Amino acid sequence: MKHSLWALVWLAAVPAAWAQAVVYRCPGNVYTSSADLQPKQAEEKGCKVIEGAPVTIVQTPKPAANAKTNAPIASPAREGRGEGRVEPAAQKQRDSDARRLLEAELRREETRLADMQKEFNNGEPERQGGERNYQRYADRVSDMRSAITRKEEDIAAIKRELAKLPQ
């Protein structure tokens, strides 16, 4: 009897607590509660009462401020053509460095591919001493074929990157 009385009191108190939390939606998608705004103020501002589902409000962090000026730090994406822009001569130098590196890598990869194809011997590489079992030989041939295919794909990717760079 005692427990059912407490349950009844609790059930009566919970809806009353929920009823006190009135949430308003104001113009500009601003949400506020009755603790921040009185009903008359809400009406004057054009806010409407939200009923039904609970509303979760997440505060976003304020942007980082510059220590000297206390102004928000602007990102290069927002600046457009401002501070994030690189001088044409510097960009040309970067492009030529990138081209030189990619061309050197392409030469190394093509040399390695030629060595791999020579060792592959058109799908019939020489058997090694530990390959008396045919399955070991077949596995090695399969691995070599896969490695050659990967190397050819790598070379094609390097060539695509080179084609993207300006001349």
- Do residues 45 and 111 share a domain? no
- Residues 102 and 146 placed together within one structural domain of the fold: yes
Would you state the pLDDT for residue 82? Answer: 57
More confident residue, 126 or 17: 126
CB 141 within 8 A of CB 125: yes
Rounded CA separation 78/162 (Å): 30
Is the pLDDT at 83 greater than 90? The verdict is no
Average pLDDT, the chain: 78
Highest mean pLDDT among 5-9, 62-66, 68-72: 62-66
Residue 81 lies in a domain: no
Closest CA to 55 of 28, 18, 6: 18
Distance CA 43, CA 93 (A): 63
Which tens digits make up the pLDDT trace of 14-54? 454 445 567 777 887 777 766 677 778 878 888 887 776 56
Cα 69 from Cα 63, distance rounded (Å): 14
The answer to whether residues 94 and 52 belong to one domain is no
The domain tally of the chain equals: 2
Name the least confident of 8-17, 132-141, 146-155.
8-17
In a domain, 150, yes or no: yes
Least confident of 126-130, 145-149, 152-156: 126-130
* pLDDT over threshold 80, residue 120: yes
Same domain for 94 and 157? Answer: yes
In a domain, 40, yes or no: yes
Do 158 and 95 have their domain in common?
yes
DSSP string across 112-144:
HHHHHHHHHTTT-PPPPTT--SHHHHHHHHHHH
Which residues constitute the domain of residue 112?
88-164
| Domain final position from 36, 56, 76 | 56
Q: Is there a domain that residue 7 lies in?
A: no
Question: Is the pTM of the predicted complex or chain greater than 0.75?
Answer: no
Decide if pLDDT at 103 tops 80. yes
